[in-house]
Chain A
Amino acid sequence: MSEILEKPEVQKIYIDARGPRFSASITAIVLATALVTHNVWVLVAQGLIFLVGATAGPQFTPYGLLFKNLIKPRLKKEAPTEDVRPPKFAQSVGLIFALVGIFGAVVDRGLIFTVATAFALAAAFLNAAFNYCLGCEMYLLLVRFRSK
């Protein structure tokens, strides 16, 4: 019945659901710093972290490791788990914004950099503050658009 969630060919990996939200908070602070200081190297650093999150998985980014080793042992409640694919998708979206922003910093006076960093920040902030699910809102629209 629930073939979407139980596809046998997909290796199921579940992670602590609080990890990605913790990571989103740090991501938001880093991106806010990039936006305020207009420093492209901050965005490059965050872009590399997105790259790790989008390929290996969000649990392997420095923020994810920080959560696992420093924060998680101090949390007493039982860990809620989540499928790793939704936060991994969000990391890929972040990576695309970061790449556009870096590209913008190279070619123009800063408008593209500002707009791309602003969108990445908005997504990270929504995730951290409202538990916003980027994959829920964006993925189906993307597929619908792509297959038109």
Chain B
Amino acid sequence: MKTYLPLLIVLALASAYGFWWKRKQGAIRSNKAIPGHRLDAGVLGEALGSRATMVQFSSAFCTPCRATHSLLSQMVISMADVKHIHIDAESHLELVRELDIRSTPTTLFINKDGVEVGRAAGTPKREQVLVALAAIS
């Protein structure tokens, strides 16, 4: 008994989801911050940047985490007032829950007071990172 209907449904739904997922990958969004939450050196294990900090959450089963790490760590070399802090999501589950981080890599853009101004799920583009950092004063 052959039927093509389930196949068509799966391909249609998966394609729709795939396009939506691809479009939001790397986009830096400002509406996901937890109101009133502040990150500090005590929680992160490293001092914040004097102007901005990019806090990247990664996990072992994540291919784009590596690319994101090399992009961000390379970008901050030329920025004296911006820091990149890398965090293993799995060993910081409490923080992950507090911040409602669901996938890796997720990068939080925080200002000098530790307040989140935006976050990106997936690998952001260099230009997107520059724009987000420029908006932090």
Please list the residues of chain A having a beta carbon within 8 angstroms of any beta carbon in chain B.
1-5, 7, 10, 17, 32, 35-38, 82-83, 85-87, 89, 114, 118, 121-122, 125-126, 129-130, 132-133, 135-137, 139-141, 143-144, 147
Task: Give the docked Cα–Cα distance between A86 and B105 (Å).
Answer: 13
User: Do B59 and A36 have beta carbons less than 8 Å apart?
Assistant: no
Chosen A-B contacts, 19 in total, with CB atoms closer than 8 Å, are A2-B58, A4-B60, A4-B87, A4-B88, A4-B89, A4-B90, A10-B60, A36-B2, A85-B60, A85-B61, A86-B63, A118-B10, A125-B18, A133-B62, A139-B61, A140-B90, A144-B96, A144-B97, A147-B93
Chain B count of residues within 8 A CB distance of the other chain: 43
Pair A2/B69 contact, Cβ less than 8 Å: yes
Q: Find chain B residues with CB under 8 A from A140 CB.
A: 59, 89-90, 96, 101-104
Q: Which residue from chain B places its CB closest to the CB of A33 in the assembled complex?
A: B7
Which residues of B have CB within 8 Å of A122? 10, 13-14, 17
Show the binding face of B for A, using Cβ within 8 Å. Answer: 1-4, 6-7, 9-11, 13-15, 17-19, 21-22, 58-66, 69, 73, 85-90, 93, 96-97, 101-105, 122
